[in-house]
Amino acid sequence: MYPIHEDETGLFQELAHKTDVIFGQISLLVIKPGCYRGNHYHKRKQEWFCCLHGKCSMELKNMQTKREKRIILDSERRKFIKVNPFEIHILRNLDNSSDCELLIIVSEEYNPDDPDTFKGEEF
C-alpha cells in the first residue's frame, strides 16, 4: 500500500504502479447491502480489488494449499488486494444500509466465449 498524503485541501494516494498490476480491463463492482458477490475462481486471470466506498470482507481460499484468509476492504483505508488464479473469492458487503463499491483491475479482458470463471466451493 502506498502512503496517503493529506493536508487541509484533501488527500492524494497512489493506488498502483504499472509494475504492480497486469492490465486487461478496469471494472466497477457494486454490492448491495447484505449481499455478496463472487464465490468463484479463475484459472488464468489475476484480479486486484480496491474498495472505493463502504466496507466489505473478502474471503479467499487457495484451491491448491487449502489455505483460507479473510481480509477487510474499507474505503477509509484504501489498498489493492491481489487475487491469484485458483483462489476462490467471495466479497460480502458489511454495511446493511449502503452499497459497497469496488474498483477491479483484471489481467485480461472479459471474453463471453471463454470467461475463465468457475464456481467455487462454499467455505
Domain assignment of residue 13, yes or no: no
pLDDT digits over 64-109, tens only? 999 999 999 999 988 899 999 999 999 999 999 999 999 999 999 9
Domain count along the chain:
1
Domain assignment of residue 92, yes or no: yes
CA nearest neighbour of 29 among 13, 40, 17: 40
Q: How far is CA 27 from the centre of its chain?
A: 10
- Its pTM stands at 0.90
Domain assignment of residue 37, yes or no: yes
pLDDT digits over 97-118, tens only? 999 999 999 999 999 999 999 9
Q: What is the structure's pLDDT at 94?
A: 97
Joined grid coordinates for residue 97: 444500509
Distance CA 58, CA 71 (A): 5
Q: How far is CA 34 from the centre of its chain?
A: 17
Pairing verdict, β 10-13 and 4-7 = antiparallel
Q: What is the structure's pLDDT at 122?
A: 67
For 39, the domain range is 26-113
Name the band, by pLDDT with cuts 50, 70 and 90, for residue 16: confident
Q: What is the CATH number of the domain that holds 48?
A: 2.60.120.10
Domain assignment of residue 105, yes or no: yes
